[in-house]
Amino acid sequence: MKCKRCGSTDIQAIPITYGKIKRRGCLSTLFHVFMTIITLGFWIIVPLIQGGSKGKVKTKIRFVCLNCGKKQ
Percent of the chain predicted with pLDDT > 90: 21
Predicted pLDDT of residue 25: 76
* DSSP string for residues in 34-70: HHHHHTTTGGGGHHHHH-S-EEEEEEEEEEEETTT--
Say if strands 11-22 and 54-65 run parallel, antiparallel, or are unpaired.
antiparallel
pLDDT surpasses 60 at 52: no
The answer to whether residues 11 and 63 touch, using CB atoms and an 8 Å cutoff, is yes
- Averaged pLDDT for residues 20-36: 77
Consecutive H or E run containing 33? helix 26-38
Ranges of each domain in the chain:
11-65
pLDDT surpasses 80 at 40: no
- Averaged pLDDT for residues 17-44: 77
- Averaged pLDDT for residues 17-38: 78
pLDDT-derived band at 48, boundaries 50, 70, 90: low
